Structure 1
Amino acid sequence: MTISTTGRPAGFAVHNPATGAVIGEAPNMTAADLDRAVARARAAQPGWAAASDDQRAEVCRALAALLTDHSEELARLLTQEQGKPLNGLGSRWEIGGAAAWAGYTAGLSLPPKVLQDDAAGRVELHRKPVGVVGSITPWNFPVLIAIWHIVPALRVGNTVVMKPSPLTPLAALRFVELASAVLPAGVLTIVTGDDRAVNLGAEMSSHPGIDKIVFTGSIATGRQVMRSAAGTLKRLTLELGGNDAGIVLPDADPGLIAEGLFWGAFINNGQTCAALKRLYVHDDIHDQVCEALVEYTRNIPVGDGMDEASILGPLQNRMQFDVVSGLVASAANRGQVLLGGKPGEGLFFPPTLIAGLANGDPLVDREQFGPALPIIRYTDIAGAVAAANDNPNGLGGSVWSSDPDAARALALQLECGSVWINKHGAVQPNAPFGGVKSSGMGVQFAEEGLAENTVAQVVFG
Structure 2
Amino acid sequence: MSTSEATLLVAGDWRHAERRYEIRSPATGETVGVADDAGTDDASAAVDAAAEAAEGWSALAPERRSAILRAAATAIRTDSDELALLLCRESGKPLGEARGELLSGAAAVEWAAEEGRRTDGRLVSLGGGRRGMVLKQPVGITVAVSPWNFPASMFLRKVALALAAGCTAVAKPAEQTPLIARALVERFATAGCPEGVLNLLTTARPDSLVRTLLADPRVAKLSFTGSTEVGLTLLRRGDGLLKRVALELGGHAPAIVLEDADVEAAVAGVLASKFRNCGQSCIATNRLYVHDSLHDRFCAALLDAVAGLRVGPGTEDGVEVGPLIDEPALRKVEAQVADALGHGARALTGGTRLTDGALGRGWFYAPTVLTGVAESALLAREEIFGPVLPVFSFTDEQDVLARANATDYGLAAYLYGTDAARMWRMAERLRFGVIGVNDPFPLAPELPFGGMKNSGLGREGGLEGIEGFLETKAVALHV
Q: Same fold (TM over 0.5)?
A: yes
**Does residue 100 of structure 1 match 2:110?**
no
| 3-state DSSP of counterpart to 1:20 | coil
Q: Please, which moves more after superposition, 200-209 or 430-439? A: 200-209
Superposed CA deviations along residues 113-155 of structure 1, whole A, max 9, x for unmatched, are: 1233644521121110011000011100111100110001000
- Out of 184, 194, 202, the position equivalent to 1:192 is 202
Indicate conservation of the 8 Å contact 1:397/1:424, yes or no.
no
The counterpart of 1:447, out of the listed 460, 463, 473, is 463
Deviations 1:46-70 (A, max 9, x none): 0000001111111111111121122
Whole-angstrom distance in 1 between the partners of 2:333 and 2:293: 30
Preserved CA contact (<8 Å) 2:47 2:170: yes
Equivalence map 1:315-334=2 (5 Å): 315-333=324-342, 334=344
- What residue is the counterpart of 1:340 in the other structure? 350
Q: Are 1:57 and 2:57 matched, yes or no?
A: no
Could you report, residue by residue, the CA deviation over 1:298-351 in whole angstroms, capped at 9, with x for unpaired residues? 111110011122111000111111111111122233212111111112300111
> What code does the residue aligned with 2:470 have?
T
Give the distance between the partners of 2:295 and 2:374, measured in 1 at CA: 14
Query: Which is worse superposed, 420-429 or 387-396?
Result: 420-429
- Kept in 2: contact 1:205–1:229 (CA 8 A): no
Indicate conservation of the 8 Å contact 1:137/1:165, yes or no.
yes
Q: Which runs of 5+ in 1 are unaligned?
A: none
The corresponding residue for 2:141 is: 132
One-letter code of the match for 2:197? V
1:192 corresponds to which letter in structure 2?
T
Q: Name the CA shift for 1:29/1:8 in 2 (closer, same or farther; >3 Å).
A: closer
On the 8 A contact 2:133/2:476 being kept in 1, the answer is yes
Residues 1:229 and 1:142: Cα distance change in structure 2 (over 3 Å): farther
Tell me how far apart the structure 1 counterparts of residues 17 and 395 of structure 2 sit (CA, whole Å).
Answer: 63
The alpha carbon displacement at 1:249 in A equals: 1.1
Q: Distance in 1 between matches of 2:78 and 2:38?
A: 29
Contact 2:44 2:213 in 1 (8 A): no
What corresponds to 1:84 in structure 2?
93
Residues 297, 433 of structure 1: CA spacing in aligned structure 2 closer, same or farther, 3 A cutoff? Answer: same
Structure 2 distance, partners of 1:257, 1:370, is 20
* Contact 1:261 1:423 survives alignment (8 Å): no
Q: Which residue pairs with 1:275 in the alignment?
A: 284
The residue identity in structure 2 corresponding to 1:303 is G
Pick from 292, 303, 309 the counterpart of residue 301 of structure 2: 292
Please state how far the C-alpha of 1:7 moved relative to its aligned partner: 6.6
Name 2:359's counterpart in structure 1: none
SS state at 1:432 partner = coil
In the alignment, which residue of structure 1 is the partner of 2:4? none
Match of 1:46 in 2: 55
Aligned equivalent of 2:257, options 248, 252, 257: 248
Match of 1:37 in 2: 46
| Aligned partner of residue 221 in structure 1, secondary structure | helix
Counterparts of 2:14 and 2:40, CA distance in 1? 11
Alignment of 1:388-407 (within 5 A): 388-407=404-423
Residue 85 of structure 1 and its aligned partner are, at CA, apart by: 0.8
* 2:367 aligned with 1:351: yes
Query: Separation in 2 of the partners of 1:176 and 1:224?
Result: 28
After TM superposition, the structure 1 stretch with the greater mean CA deviation from structure 2, 126-135 or 104-113, is 104-113
Q: Which moved more, 1:38-47 or 1:270-279?
A: 270-279
Counterpart CA distance in 2 for 1:51 and 1:223 is: 36
The residue that corresponds to 1:23 in the other structure is 32
How many equivalent pairs are there? 458
SS at match of 1:193: coil
Please tell me whether the aligned partners of residues 110 and 447 of structure 1 are also in contact (alpha carbons under 8 angstroms): no
Q: CA deviation at 1:356?
A: 1.3
1:178 Cα deviation from its structure 2 partner:
2.6
Deviation at 1:8, TM superposition (A): 4.9
Partner of 1:147: 156
Q: Distance in 2 between matches of 1:23 and 1:38?
A: 29
Matches of 1:220 and 1:369 in 2, distance apart? 15
Q: Secondary structure at the match of 2:409?
A: coil
Judge conservation of contact 1:278–1:373 (CA < 8 Å) in 2: yes
The unaligned stretches of length 5 or more in structure 2 are 1-7, 356-361
- Cα offset for 1:423? 2.1
- C-alpha separation in 1, matches of 2:265 and 2:325: 31
Tell me, yes or no, if the aligned pair for 1:303 and 1:312 is still in contact at 8 Å: yes
Report matched runs for 1:361-372 at 5 Å: 361-372=377-388
- Structure 2 distance, partners of 1:20, 1:162, is 27
Report percent identity of matched pairs: 33
Which letter maps to 1:128? Q
CA distance in 2, matches of 1:372, 1:107: 39
Other structure's SS at 2:454 match: helix
Cα distance in structure 1, aligned partners of 2:75 and 2:213? 27
Which stretch shifts more, 218-227 or 174-183?
174-183
Distance 1:124 1:310, change over 3 A: same
Equivalent residue for 2:221?
A: 212
TM-score, normalising length from structure 2?
Answer: 0.93
Secondary structure, in 3 states, of the residue corresponding to 2:429?
coil
SS in 1 for 2:95: coil
Post-superposition CA distance 1:75-124 (Å, at most 9, x none) = 1111111000102xx11111111111111221112122123364452112
Aligned match of 2:184: 175
Q: Which residue number corresponds to residue 432 of structure 1?
A: 448
State the shift of 1:381 in Å: 1.5
| SS of residue in 1 equivalent to 2:364 | coil
Q: Is the 8 A contact 2:9 2:15 kept in 1?
A: no
Give the whole-Å Cα distance in 1 for the aligned partners of 2:100 and 2:15. 38
* Residues 256 and 289, structure 2, Cα contact 8 Å, conserved in 1: yes
